[in-house]
Structure 1
């Protein structure tokens, strides 16, 4: 049954999102026990509206962990609460700004030579193995080595991905004690490793609170740059090799083909398909009544076009030059399945737009180019794709290819 709000809801500080003609209203999902916002035009409003708070971890701790579990793993829950994606204005912007400056467009562009070196190393590892599986040596390898370089850690990708996958399991199933225990151990390992990381230089560490916040911030950045990026890299290769016309355009270095292909994959095979929000107060919302504390699942992959947006924080990627409009198809011949949207929400929208979006796009573009130059005759193996049962993101566990004419 859909929960009912009190008779006299708290007044919203700003007008709530309205239900325009043709926009699908939010729906209550009994199985998920939350509201689902599927329409992209409404999703865009929710992601940029103060009536919907970002602190989903805190609400999930309350809903899915017992009092005893919260007490036992208080250090872990406090660690996750400090991730700035869980904060809203003005705290969110204050915490995000120094990271955003560090991951500026000029800095990300400067990483291109190092990412090319890393990619070539990972392609060497791919060629040395049998069977040829893109995921562990290439997708995990590139994303792991790039993030280790950015943060300043001397750790192999397998360790970093173990950390992120363990945290993903806990975030997706907080009620399980085994996940909480494993995530707590990962928190300890991450905190110890980050204590001397280069990226923390210049961030506040004077007090215990400063150190906790700074460590949590870079743990979050490290987490965010691993699994979803590896998923994007794998899906990009799967899509390219699965369509000979697309792969031919990449191999012939048709201008814009690589960037358009990456953008189309973000739409057709997005690593992350939803974001969570929490109703900040009792409110009337697009034709339904929400109570304070209701969880709201916001789809990033709605079917309708985003043709009423006033702005898009990254309509054009400042590093690769890719435009979200490429998903609609261009003269390069690259077109996403179900394309047609002017802009997409895969990296979020508004103040919480993904700070690492340009880096993820750059890694995928470089991988396509280096793979095409070294293995232009590569193709998918039979039963190539093995999708993982991931709770927090959509990704491949394995992607088997044939490297015909490998060098």
Structure 2
């Protein structure tokens, strides 16, 4: 039976949300839910619908399509990440989105991505080398937070000092402003990030280098160059997207492997499974838990339930990725899972432009860690691992015991 619009279900996405999503999938293909940051909205629960609707033009990423009541609610939480970086692809529909994505995509090339592989591997070793083999090490600050920031900074043409300055500020932007104190912190971080990136863009204009940001400063198409606002927003989007989501995925992926030592053992014996492992970890524990944010441009009816024009809609990534109609035994982690059409990177026109880079980083991290430390283990009970309270899901810390280093990896 489809859910009645009058009933809203409250979601706590920071604990284990998957049993909850499982119940909602059985309630209906679209369900009314209650969020902490925007009141009520609709959740698309099943994979087939989520994949189809992720690129449906009846659902917009532009909040100007929100109805008056929703606009008022969103105004109370105006310091959202997408509002911190105006004029980005995140909040644009075609044709504006098409123009920006085309200009970035022609510079965000496979050659640039593959050229980063040696640097990524060298950086992983450099971060792991000082860590003690005995005792407890927290891999979130030691590895997960540092590596993606360093990689995306190198790609953009930013120095490591600039990266170290930006990373904690950008991390604040993903916090959910559930009270005035958090909202004030996000506002301060927003102003600092915008001012800093504006200065960086101007420096790249005066002194260009081989980085992606300099290439974007000089990029143009038939409609002209990117504006200063578009450039600054794009720099922030690429930095945040390249750093924050991959940080959470490194932590979540490592935790999953440590919770499933039989699957980790398969990778030690069969490293060729690493690519399929990355997709399975992305499916099982995506950083985007609730879903892709959309606004109904017109009334949409699904399974007898009508989503009114102007309402908030979440294309449920995590729920879809655990849908047994698409994934046999979805709660079983299978590093060799075939045919894995997960939605962790989205789908359709807004499919994540940085997906190849994220996959590369994750493959190098898991390969290197398991090769160096085949006896890597969790230093606490899995239930004691704290999770971040933000728009992106991931462990706040990950205490591990590295164990003895494999002799073959000594450098």
Give TM-score scaled by structure 2 length.
0.77
In structure 2, distance between residues paired with 1:235 and 1:79: 26
Offset, 1:243: 3.0
Three-state SS of the structure 2 residue aligned to 1:345 is coil
Residue matched to 1:401: 400
For the structure 1 residues 36 and 161, does the alpha-carbon distance in structure 2 shift closer, same or farther, using more than 3 Å as the test?
same
Residue matched to 2:167: 161
* Structure 1: stretches of 5+ with no match in the other structure: 4-21, 308-324
* Structure 2: stretches of 5+ with no match in the other structure: 7-25, 205-210
1:2-21 pair list within 5 angstroms? 2=5
Residue matched to 2:213: 200
- 2:381 is aligned with 1:383: yes
Three-state SS of the structure 1 residue aligned to 2:396 is strand
In structure 1, distance between residues paired with 2:239 and 2:403: 35
Among candidates 148, 152, 155, match of residue 143 of structure 1: 148
For the structure 1 residues 164 and 130, does the alpha-carbon distance in structure 2 shift closer, same or farther, using more than 3 Å as the test?
farther
Deviation by residue 1:29-78 (Cα, 9 ceiling, x = unmatched): 24541111111111112111110001248857642325xx97xx8xx987
Offset, 1:286: 4.4
Offset, 1:166: 1.5
Offset, 1:139: 0.7
1:228-243 pair list within 5 angstroms? 228-243=245-260
Among candidates 27, 31, 44, match of residue 27 of structure 1: 31
Residue matched to 1:360: 358
Q: What's the Cα RMSD here?
A: 3.6
Offset, 1:283: 4.2
Deviation by residue 1:161-205 (Cα, 9 ceiling, x = unmatched): 212211112677799344323322332223323443532223357
1:89-108 pair list within 5 angstroms? 89-108=94-113
- Equivalenced residue count is 362
Three-state SS of the structure 2 residue aligned to 1:296 is strand
- 2:125 is aligned with 1:120: yes
Assess if the C-alpha contact under 8 Å between 1:347 and 1:357 holds in 2.
yes
| 280-289 or 100-109: bigger deviation | 280-289
Among candidates 285, 289, 304, match of residue 269 of structure 1: 285
For the structure 1 residues 397 and 389, does the alpha-carbon distance in structure 2 shift closer, same or farther, using more than 3 Å as the test?
closer
Residue matched to 1:54: 61
Residue matched to 1:322: none
Assess if the C-alpha contact under 8 Å between 1:378 and 1:403 holds in 2.
yes
